[in-house]
Amino acid sequence: MQTLPRPRALLSVYDKTGIVEFATGLEKLGYELVSTGGTARKLREAGLAVIGVSDVTGHPEIFDGRVKSLHPAIHGPLLCRLEKEEDAKGLQELGYPPIEVVAVNLYPFSQAAATEPRLEDSDLLEMIDIGGPTMVRASAKNHANVLIVCNPMDYLSVLSDLQSNKITAERRKELALKAYEHTASYDTAISNELASRWIGLPEDSEDVQEQTERLPATMNVSANRTHNLRYGENSHQAAALYISPDAKEGETLVTAIVEGGKQMSYNNYSDADATLRLCRALSTDEWPKTPHACVIVKHNNPCGAALGVTQLEAYEAALASDPESAFGSIICVNEPVTIEFAKALTPLFLEVLMAPGYEPGAKEIIMEKKNRRILTIKSPNNRLSSLERKTIRKPIEGGWLIQTEEPPVIDWNKARVVTESEPTEAQISSMKFAVRVCEQVKSNAIVMVQGLATVGIGPGQTSRVEAVRIAARRAGNKAKGCVLASDAFFPFKDGIEQAAEAGASAVVQPGGSIRDQEVIDEANSRGISMLFTGHRLFRH
């Protein structure tokens, strides 16, 4: 009687977590272990008997290991359909034992791409795995005969299934799908990184045509699920949180340290993103005497934002903008939370607080109230550093919209005064602050500020004049002498009429309407100074 060859397990992993234990379990189940390079060395050091890939192929590794597993002696067993008599017979005639289990994970391309200082292209290209993805894809394609494992977290459960002989067709499909997700994510990381290097947007380019030509021909998105959320925007919707492969630990919203209260919800993350975006936009050296920024957001729109000499001053000014809307809001500050600020938060119903750090004892004060979440987002010098978002993607039915990152693009040296009355230096400083806030408010948007603090915000209106009315109503008496920012031009003079009646003394807007002169004339008749920036700031 002919003795059947022992089934083989092929192990070739970059992440060697748990691989010795997995291989030990496979050997006990009767598998011959086939391995490559560093994986083979680690297994041999653990006392396991390992057949080298070169011994299987009869060919040495070449070009510093660039070619080692791309050989029929490896891929024949991986792709052999044992249920087909012709395939099984052919494999036997070739003398290749079947490979039933494969454990492969790939070179860490994303980590290499994020290395500082940045790797040269030639060094980065060496981190592109060739044989690994080929083995993974071949095994997944033939999952009815080959069990493919890419995630070390699956080793124990796979061993348990093999020991109890309970590898079902469904389980094989589940692992095959994970394998294809693994290679798809890997290829996406490569294509996105090389696109950013080789056809990336030119530095400081304002030429829309030039930018358009440099948008990628194919939009690839890759992200890994970190955990499920309680529900989506509404309780009947399922939701989960995903992390981008290049997200740095503790430096992004998704990788922030979350403490206290209930788990972050879908809406919490959505609102926190808007809050963080504005706080970062205000955390610049443009206002050196007021380094503390505080932003309060509700339902994706700022209801208060301010800069202050102290953190408490910035918070009190931001809260005063719209204390009613601040109920159940998300707050972000750009410096470590102080004890006095923590105490000032006590009366407020607060969903989430974000900061780069906390003074000793501040967390305990904040968490005296139940269900508050604290997010720590570390950044250089305890400041909230700029988020690098080269493109913005928005799903629509049947596809995606993609655009380059939003402003700041305004060159204030090119902004022009269009009225008889010129704004003062203080008003120009307020205009710059108001525009930064206006960038992050849903359109149509109007922002009223006093100094470096909002006093009234009119967000997301279908009518610009109505946005002015809402901002004015929220500002009340604080609108007297305010600076008003609009995210787009005023199509009629009625917006300026409403602004003047509320008490605005200066206006900053893009300009560009066919009725600009009527708007300018109205501003002149009201003694309002007005600046045109030439840049619309829609946010939909």
Residues annotated catalytic, as ranges: 141, 299
Task: Catalogue the E-assigned strands of 278-431.
Answer: 292-298, 301-308, 329-333, 350-355, 373-376, 391-396, 399-404, 416-417
Q: Which residues pair with 352 in a beta bridge?
A: 330, 373
What phi, psi does 224 have (nearest 5°)?
-105, 135
Q: What whole-number distance in Å separates Cα of residue 313 and Cα of residue 433?
A: 16
Q: Confirm if 30 and 7 have CB atoms less than 8 A apart.
A: yes
- Contact assessment for residue 502 and residue 472, using Cβ atoms and an 8 Å cutoff: yes
Q: How far is residue 31's CA from residue 535's CA, in Å, rounded to a whole number?
A: 67
Whole-number Å distance between alpha carbons of 500 and 124: 59
Backbone angles phi, psi at 534, to 5 degrees: 80, 5
CA torsion through residues 42, 125, 140, 81, sign: negative
Question: Which letter does DSSP use for residue 337 in this model?
Answer: B
Lookup: tokens for 148: 């493919």
Instruction: Answer for the pair 482, 455: CB distance below 8 angstroms, yes or no.
Output: yes
**In sequence order, which residues have a C-beta less than 8 Å from that of residue 170 and are 6 or more positions away?**
none
Establish whether the linkage from the previous residue to 291 is cis, with ω within 30° of 0: no
Q: 301 by DSSP, 3-state: which?
A: strand
Strands (E), 411-505: 416-417, 446-450, 453-458, 483-486
* Residue 278, Cβ density class (10 Å: 0-12 exposed, 13-18 middle, ≥19 buried): buried
Query: Amino acid identity of 7?
Result: P
